[in-house]
Amino acid sequence: MSDLRHECGLAAIYHLPAADTSPLCPGQDQEQASRLMPRMLLDIQNRGQLSAGMTAWHPHRSQLLATYKDVGSVSEVFRMSHRGKYESLMEQHAGRAAIGHVRYATCGAEDRGYAQPLERPHIQKRKWFAFGFNGQLANYPELRAEILATDDAHLARDNDTEVILHAIGRELSGTADPSPADLLAAIAHRFDGAWNLAILDACGRLIVARDPLGIRPLEYARLGPLVAACSESVALLNLGFPAESIRSLEPGTALVVEGDQLRIERFAEAPTRARCFFEWVYFANVASTMDERSVYLSRKRLGEELAELETVPVDRDTVVVPVPDTSKAAADAMAYRLAIPSVEGLIRNRYTGRTFIDGAAGRRQKAETKYTPLREVLEGKRVFLVEDSIVRSTTMRVLLGRMRSLGRAREIHVRVACPPIVAPCFYGIDMSTIDELFAPEFLAGGPLTEEAQARMAARLGADSLRYLPVESVARSIGFAADELCQACLTGRYPTPAGERLYQIALAQSESGQRPARTYEPATP
């Protein structure tokens, strides 16, 4: 799945007014809490490497909210390899509260103007705010058209983040100051999709909200005067919060810090859940726990499920090889169950860049240098190659060719710790059309069969291919199937706008149209 974009990542930190300093930042006053933000963003760098940024609040600075962001990794943006420049940035953006963001682009250009947080200055402090957003609004086209319906309206950015900026601004535009719950309830009524938000205003009020379906994860913790929230628990754990203090924010609720008070407020009823299963299968850090479900243990159980289905005979020359890095837990578990070695037959070059950023040709070129097969490990072996998923197949085809030509593997049997991806995602993952996906051509809307998997194996250049059935996902993560969003596996979407976009995607695929995104005008 190295040719698939992640979503974004959110983080927030707040030092409550207190005479004592936090045990997590000893020797520093409360106005230096923002220094912890780059550390948090580094731990969720897996969720976005296109841009990074933060907004800090300092009540004794003329620039109450100070935003810094740019294109690049966290280390690049915050100049972490240059001590003097890093210290200067931290001094300029000191504050007792901060929100942060790392981004990949599911829509919108790849430049600094699209980096987050976005800030909306205003002469009134309560209307001056910054926010970061993780997810994607499936009804973005309708919301955008609604804003542009009047002649004097204009949107500077081609993405749903600016739509959210205007939605929040509209709710704050009246003379009354809406409560956080009222503000979120108003926008929740209009939004369809995944939308975790972190909002910080010039009054020092912090709001961290999770959408009513809970599509994307959001964790929080408190230790003494320090409060933090993040897309993944690993960032809180590495910051020093005890594991027992880390909680998942419930869907339809918000963490609110106002003055010296921390509270959890419900802003929308959440009778159903639609957690993205991909968080456990691929996106999240293997050290994270989300909604009380361990990422590592989920992947381990997926590997055990693969082992239960295995029919290819094993001998002393049979090995399991994970595609680094997210497949390792599944591969190790599969190997243990089959009583054969799990070996590092592929070495990942971590400095080649991301394989999906330059289109199909660029992905292929970078895939050729991303993994180095080890001939000493692979030569003459029957290999079970374990991958977390196959989306577009560019990387897999190149990889198999290199394992045969350079690694001299005797047989390669691809085992996928996930069912086939057959439908687009409209909730924050960069796969918006059917024709870009590998599996639909072979399944043609039908069930997963041995014959279909044999044809896929031939296309990839593998000796055999096996996916997990859909039922394995819920079993491995530990949720009921109806508590997970598995739309890209089943074509059944948890929101009305998602279902509408899928019907458009099907029509575009059948007519041979090739839009960049399903909600854009298609061209022959």
* Residue in 319, 347, 353 with CA at minimum distance from that of residue 335: 319
Longest dimension (CA), the chain: 76
Distance between CA 81 and CA 73 in Å, rounded? 12
Q: Are 247 and 292 in contact (CB under 8 A)?
A: no
> Cα–chain-centroid distance for residue 70?
19
User: Contact 161/118 with Cβ under 8 angstroms?
Assistant: yes
Q: Which of 8, 25, 418, 488 does the annotation list as catalytic?
A: 8
E strand or H helix that includes residue 254: strand 253-258
Measured between alpha carbons, how far is 89 from 95 in angstroms, rounded to an integer?
Answer: 12
Phi-psi region of 408 (alpha: psi -120 to 50; beta: other; left: phi over 0): left
Contact 36, 236 (CB under 8 A): no
What are the tokens at 233?
A: 């628990």
In the three-class reduction of DSSP (H, G, I as helix; E, B as strand; rest coil), residue 130 is classed as strand
Query: What DSSP string describes 66-88?
Result: EEEEEES-HHHHTTTTSHHHHHH
371: helix, coil or strand?
strand
Q: Are the C-beta atoms of 360 and 393 separated by less than 8 Å?
A: no
Q: How far apart are CA 447 and CA 470, in angstroms?
A: 11
Distance CA 387, CA 381 (A): 18
Cα gap 210→196, rounded to integer Å: 5
Q: Are 488 and 131 in contact (CB under 8 A)?
A: no
CA distance 472 to 469: 6
Q: Is 107 a catalytic residue?
A: no
Sheet holding 411-416, edge to edge: 318-322, 382-387, 411-416, 464-467
What gap in Å lies between CA 71 and CA 50, rounded to an integer?
6
CB 225 within 8 A of CB 18: yes
Q: Among all chains, which residue has been given the structure tokens 């704050």? A: 172
Phi, then psi, of 268 in degrees rounded to 5 = -155, 145
Catalytic machinery residues: 8
